[in-house]
Structure 1
């Protein structure tokens, strides 16, 4: 089912598929895998298959049943652009997002080239609808090519999640990016994040006009280290890209 989210930068989660496989060091201590594997073999549980990939066609119409506008994180427990997800099912997910267009959808992937190629075909010659936000996860400098793939997409609603931030990103170009989220890793094997890595991204965001959101330091639990960076909370949000009709419904 769609769930109210405890993630600071969204309102709810929607998982028309669950399960994934690892593609980089940011996946090593995956919270979603850790949660799902707790239920492997439990008959009748949604995660009785653990973190194996599973499609849920009966969840495709869930956003349409949600009448109040929300920020919806798509696939918090998977990756929409996993190579084993059939293209026609990805089409059905996008169809559902386009029909229920009073929500904002936040689609986040590590498979950035597959996302770029898909949306280039689906929206050939036109931009992605502004209520569908497309983002990539970047954990360190070795994976900044995902940013370039994102910048190739014809959309003003592009965002990056630097979480878990595992190393310095370097002096990247964030031109055309609307929003950046930074967070340290949490969980029993959390790897520490250095403040200089986070402040470098903040400074680049300020240089390039990107809204900057500092989510957490991380630790054994998500809230272990708090949310202050240089003594402040950073709650930047890209209000300028929220469609006017949705802003009006939200009362913002």
Structure 2
């Protein structure tokens, strides 16, 4: 869709370190790649959007929202995946898996306010960089089918498609759409977890489920039993579970259930923001692909 009167799609020449994503601290991927930046809030999970807080409020790089901007990142940034692809064989030898690229952490690939030519360019890079696994996460699964390239067919072998689901309502509506789209891996990002989510006992299931609590100022509550319950569902239904973080020590079971102070809990559990252990163990599995 070409840029319309309600927003501006602009090119950006600045090689910001936050955008370029040479490496990342996100536990479930190795790199982040942002072909453009800018987005719009679509559901309660977006209320405390970290990307908006950084790129709009803090760095003043792009205006968020329906009447805001989508800025294409620099040509230098677009060359990064090509470099990672060249290095992929060495990376796998050293790390035991193909490099995983989260696309896009500061935008949404299936945002309908993005110039369609940019998305065409992105999928061309994805095809070229076939030694990378591309983790494409969206809050707009209703747009996926109409925005995929014409040669998608049964899915690109190196693209994992995911959607966020912060509660049962969002899971039910978004998974219903995502499961209809062919992909080698389909996944759910239950982050920020704002309510319980249970997996259906019949029908097609995601291959992978990431859970995590909200972090930062104004972070909302995550109940420990929500995470335990959905991990139990994953175990029973052969879905790979990955618990990223509790978000805040106020959510951590060591504090909520064991009565520790946040400082005491941090000593025992320093995995991720707010800790990440589930009953003393890290639960960080990936779907069956290396």
**Match 2:162 to one of 127, 135, 142:** 135
| Equivalent residue, structure 1, for 2:47 | 28
Superposed CA offset, 1:75-99 (max 9, x none) = 1111111110122211111111001
Query: How far is the alpha carbon of 1:106 from its aligned partner?
Result: 0.7
Q: Deviation at 1:171? A: 4.3
> What's the TM-score, normalizing by structure 2?
0.74
* SS of structure 2 residue aligned to 1:167: coil
Cα distance, 1:14–1:220 mapped onto 2, change above 3 Å: farther
Cα pair 1:105 1:131 within 8 Å, conserved: yes
* Corresponding residue for residue 64 of structure 1: 82
**2:71 aligns with one of 54, 57, 72:** 54
Give the superposition deviation at 1:211.
Answer: 0.6
Identify the range of structure 1 (175-184 vs 159-168) with the bigger mean alpha-carbon deviation. Answer: 175-184
Where structure 2 has 5 or more consecutive residues not aligned to the other structure, the ranges are 1-19, 89-98, 251-270
**Greater than 6 Å deviation, 4+ residue runs:** none
The 2-side partners of 1:93 and 1:147 are apart by: 24
What is residue 15 of structure 1 aligned with on the other side?
34
Change over 3 Å in CA distance of 1:57–1:198 after alignment to 2:
same
- Counterpart CA distance in 2 for 1:196 and 1:116 is 35
184-193 vs 88-97, which deviates more? 88-97
The higher radius of gyration belongs to 2
Q: Is the 8 A contact 1:116 1:149 kept in 2?
A: no
1:233 aligns with 2:288: no
The TM-score normalised by the length of structure 1 is 0.85
The DSSP-based 3-state class of the residue aligned with 1:32 is: helix
* In structure 2, C-alpha distance between the alignment counterparts of 1:224 and 1:218, rounded to whole Å: 5
Aligned length: 232
Q: How does 1:103-252 map to 2 (within 5 A)?
A: 103-119=132-148, 122-123=150-151, 126-144=153-171, 145-172=173-200, 175-219=204-248, 223-238=272-287, 240-242=288-290
